[in-house]
């Protein structure tokens, strides 16, 4: 987060943009102090006072609630609290990371407010059984599918064959909720004759994102499935440390790296800040500072392309967190 703040401030000042930062504590530490994972009033301030929200990784696996789930996780609080229904996860292979026969440049649009995760905190459990519910609504599916088609129309980047397409990822062959999802997808797709409507079962999508990523442009899917597929996609593109994400709603949006908190390497100059840097660029793009966003993504790409940033097999940068930050700062 320190790295992103530094780069964002530097890039903005080059464009004559003043940035004022506020800080709102949240996550495992906040839960341990206050019993809540987010300080009081933060949600309202995110919605009403800030222009944009940049979130850092916050969880701690060992801090758990009595039901066994993690206490510091902010996903439900923020995503449902702010109704940021579209979790946008671009997967792009940066230059120099590895060779791929099939180009990797697509966006996963993950539904962020319903699906299986709507059950968080309300699943039932006793000694003999446990259950969670996967719930989809027409309103929820319609808006996420529309969002995906709009993304396909407007995004920079394209699949290997240059065809604008949205792939609906579902398990409609087995489950009624997913059949519902697909039927609504097909309805909305008819409103976008300029974009190809495409389908994959969840298992086939997991296969094809590895075997043939160049096919994909925009994918749209349920919350839990999108969570898995975006980590999978990140793995094919150099790891979680390279992938940004945005949580977009009608009124508010917040931006965060795809990865979690990795407490084992925190503060040791080991983590790859690239995802947080590209996340800052997504944020700038969203608030209309498009030139400044491009300045950052351009600098990140240049630092990878000329070999200044290289990754270890485990995804950490050989030059350390600070080395990446310096390389990007000098290329802004």
Q: Which residues bind ligand IPM (CB under 6 A)?
A: 59, 73, 75, 173-174, 203, 227, 260
Task: Give whichever of 6 and 222 is closer to ligand IPM, judged by the CB atom.
Answer: 222
Task: Give whichever of 12 and 118 is closer to ligand IPM, judged by the CB atom.
Answer: 118
Task: Please report how close the Cβ of residue 73 comes to ligand IPM at its closest, in angstroms.
Answer: 4
Task: Please report how close the Cβ of residue 176 comes to a copy of itself at its closest, in angstroms.
Answer: 3
User: 150-155: which pairs have CB atoms within 8 A and are 24 or more residues apart?
Assistant: 151/88, 151/107, 151/109, 151/218, 152/192, 152/195, 152/217, 152/218, 153/192, 153/194, 153/195, 155/107, 155/218
Crossing angle for the helix pair 320-329 and 274-286, to the nearest 10 degrees: 40
Partner from ligand IPM, a copy of itself, none binding residue 270, C-beta < 5-8 Å depending on class: none
229 makes contact with a copy of itself (CB under 8 A): yes
d(CA 98, CA 117): 34
Whether 106 is a known active-site residue: answer: no
Q: For residue 217, is it left (φ>0), alpha (ψ between -120 and 50) or beta?
A: alpha
13 makes contact with a copy of itself (CB under 8 A): no
Distance of CA 320 to the CA centre of its chain: 23
d(CA 167, CA 109): 10
Within 143-202, which residues bind a copy of itself (CB under 8 A)?
171-183, 202
167 in Cβ contact with 205 (< 8 Å): yes
Task: Please report how close the Cβ of residue 215 comes to ligand IPM at its closest, in angstroms.
Answer: 19
Catalytic residue among 85, 106, 117, 192: 117
Within 100-139, which residues bind a copy of itself (CB under 8 A)?
101, 116-117, 119-120, 123-125, 127-139
Task: Please report how close the Cβ of residue 59 comes to ligand IPM at its closest, in angstroms.
Answer: 6
Q: For residue 130, is it left (φ>0), alpha (ψ between -120 and 50) or beta?
A: beta
Whether 217 is a known active-site residue: answer: no
Residue 28 buriedness (CB in 10 A; 0-12 / 13-18 / 19+)? buried
Task: Please report how close the Cβ of residue 237 comes to ligand IPM at its closest, in angstroms.
Answer: 15
Residues that bind a copy of itself (CB under 8 A): 59, 61, 67-70, 73, 75-76, 101, 116-117, 119-120, 123-125, 127-139, 171-183, 202-204, 206-212, 224-225, 227-232, 234-236, 239-240, 313-315
Active site residues: 117, 171, 203, 227, 231
């Amino acid at each position: 987060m320190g790295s992103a703040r530094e780069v964002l401030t530097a890039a903005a000042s080059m464009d004559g943009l003043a940035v004022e930062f506020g800080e709102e504590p949240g996550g495992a530490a906040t839960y341990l102090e206050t019993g809540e994972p987010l300080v009081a009033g933060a949600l309202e301030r995110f919605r009403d006072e800030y222009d944009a929200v940049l979130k850092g990784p916050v969880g701690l696996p060992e801090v758990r609630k009595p039901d066994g789930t993690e206490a510091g996780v902010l996903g439900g609080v923020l995503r449902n609290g702010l109704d940021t229904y579209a979790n946008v996860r671009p997967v792009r292979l940066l230059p120099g990371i590895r060779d791929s026969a099939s180009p990797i440049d697509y966006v996963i649009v993950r539904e962020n407010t319903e699906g299986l995760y709507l059950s968080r905190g309300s699943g039932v459990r006793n000694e003999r059984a446990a259950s969670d519910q996967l719930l989809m609504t027409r309103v929820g599916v319609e808006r996420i599918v529309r969002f995906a088609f709009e993304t396909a129309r407007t995004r920079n980047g394209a699949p290997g064959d240059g065809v604008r397409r949205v792939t609906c990822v579902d398990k409609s062959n087995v489950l009624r909720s997913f059949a519902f999802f697909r039927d609504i997808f097909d309805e909305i797709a008819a409103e976008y004759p300029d974009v190809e409507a495409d389908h994959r079962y969840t298992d086939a999508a997991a296969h094809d994102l590895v075997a043939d990523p160049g096919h994909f442009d925009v994918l749209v899917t349920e919350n839990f499935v999108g969570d898995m597929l975006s980590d999978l996609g990140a793995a094919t593109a150099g790891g979680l440390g390279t992938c940004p994400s945005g949580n977009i709603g009608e009124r508010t949006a917040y931006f965060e790296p795809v990865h979690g908190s990795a407490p084992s390497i925190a503060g040791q100059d080991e983590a790859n800040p690239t995802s947080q840097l590209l996340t800052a660029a997504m944020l700038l793009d969203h608030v209309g500072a498009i030139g400044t966003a491009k300045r950052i993504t351009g600098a990140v790409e240049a630092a990878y392309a000329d070999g200044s940033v290289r990754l270890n097999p485990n995804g950490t940068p050989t030059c350390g967190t600070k080395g990446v930050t310096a390389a990007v700062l000098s290329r802004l």
